[in-house]
Structure 1
């Protein structure tokens, strides 16, 4: 069989289009079609798969190899992108109005929990008013169990450095303990304290210090 570059190109483009169609959703507020992150992941996987498929096939089977590679790569890429899309949507639904921020960065999701709604001042005991929010997290973490859960405590720069590091570690540990006690697998969870070393705002103002006193949960692929 003679290698047909035009045919190969057409098949790959068709594969890309199918990935885009799967990844497109309708915005419920505007009614417009939008390309989701799963389509973007799928296109990247399809492109890589097509190149590898063509390169590893015999000369007579490059068209077939490229198509198979594009299909497999696209499915793998879109699969995880779709998974994170769904997890992000569930987290935003469960955490609406709680004060917890949901931040998406590529494959990773980050939950930012301000210290004033999570802990009493200078305490590592979780505020009882925050238990319902943590229970919402437990529900989503059990439903979506393909992520590692990295919990990091942060403080502002007031007080001694050793005290801040210990407090940040204890707060992260308290959140980790609550999650495991509610049935989230401990094998997925890690916790540590960063103290005042990773501020997200200026420690020169009261508002900035309040932003820096926080616990972050970073969700990453296992």
Structure 2
């Protein structure tokens, strides 16, 4: 762990102890901790999350999820994200769902979203799994969804970058075609970057061929949370 990260974590824990006490922190849920610590340490927490998210240390996705509103408003957002994360896990058990800060990291591996070999065409199974997520996304219209496409290291980096861009775009196009607002989505292809497993084995390469979502509050959700917090 980097020295700056250790310092940041110590700062967060110190702040948490000052305002809530060690035992009290242990007995709170994620939302409550986010509200209490976020009020004074949101910026620090966001930096830690942004630098250390996931096995691959995904800088791009971490930068999106690392932003923290903090305070009571952050707790309101966190509560909504807790509920959405649970619903995603129920709808698609094969997905990797992780609550990060005030957002959600969703990883769809080949077991959930497959593409035809060397193509960006979604398989029938992939479409069926994305269909399971649509009701959840519809229930939370005030969220933004950043889609990242990844590949393994087989082939040239340039080829894989283009392919990952096309695959992320295919996921967006499918979801938009099912009625979700296009304005909610942004797509990025990252190719062979940020592997979450070794590329030296077939199993590892399969894990690296994936799509990741960063689900965050849009401006309306933030404003509504701030209004609710001010009551």
Q: What range is the shorter-chain TM-score in? A: 0.5 to 0.7
Deviations 1:152-200 (A, max 9, x none): 1100111122221111111100000011111111111001110112211
5+ long unaligned stretches in structure 1: 1-15, 21-32, 49-72
Identify the residue that residue 115 of structure 1 maps to in structure 2.
Answer: 110
Identify the residue that residue 76 of structure 1 maps to in structure 2.
Answer: 73
Once the two structures are superposed, the pairs formed by residues 116-155 of structure 1 within 5 Å of their partners are 117-118=112-113, 119-155=115-151
Identify the residue that residue 85 of structure 2 maps to in structure 1.
Answer: 88
8 Å Cα contact 1:116-1:210 kept in structure 2? no
8 Å Cα contact 1:45-1:76 kept in structure 2? no
Q: Quick one: distance in 1 between partners of 2:32 and 2:112?
A: 36
Question: 1:86 is paired with a residue of what secondary structure?
Answer: helix
Identify the residue that residue 102 of structure 1 maps to in structure 2.
Answer: 97
Identify the residue that residue 197 of structure 1 maps to in structure 2.
Answer: 193
Q: Quick one: distance in 2 between partners of 1:42 and 1:78?
A: 4
Residues 46, 170 of structure 1: alpha-carbon distance in 2 compared, 3 angstrom cutoff: closer
Residues 47, 167 of structure 1: alpha-carbon distance in 2 compared, 3 angstrom cutoff: closer
TM-score between both structures, scaled by the size of structure 2? 0.66
5+ long unaligned stretches in structure 2: 1-19, 42-69, 219-231
8 Å Cα contact 2:145-2:215 kept in structure 1? yes
Residues 77, 108 of structure 1: alpha-carbon distance in 2 compared, 3 angstrom cutoff: closer
Residue 76 of structure 1, CA deviation? 2.1
The reply to whether residue 219 of structure 1 matches residue 215 of structure 2 is: yes
Q: Larger strand proportion, structure 1 or 2? A: 1
Question: 1:110 is paired with a residue of what secondary structure?
Answer: strand
Q: Quick one: distance in 2 between partners of 1:138 and 1:116?
A: 18
The number of residue pairs the alignment matches comes to 169
Residue 75 of structure 1, CA deviation? 4.0
Identify the residue that residue 8 of structure 1 maps to in structure 2.
Answer: none
TM-score between both structures, scaled by the size of structure 1? 0.68
8 Å Cα contact 2:81-2:99 kept in structure 1? no
Q: Quick one: distance in 2 between partners of 1:46 and 1:152?
A: 30
Residue 78 of structure 1, CA deviation? 2.4
Residues 177, 164 of structure 1: alpha-carbon distance in 2 compared, 3 angstrom cutoff: same
Question: 1:115 is paired with a residue of what secondary structure?
Answer: coil
Q: Select the structure with the greater relative contact order (CA < 8 A; seq sep ≥ 6).
A: 2
8 Å Cα contact 2:112-2:129 kept in structure 1? no
Query: Which of structures 1 and 2 has the bigger CA Rg?
Result: 1
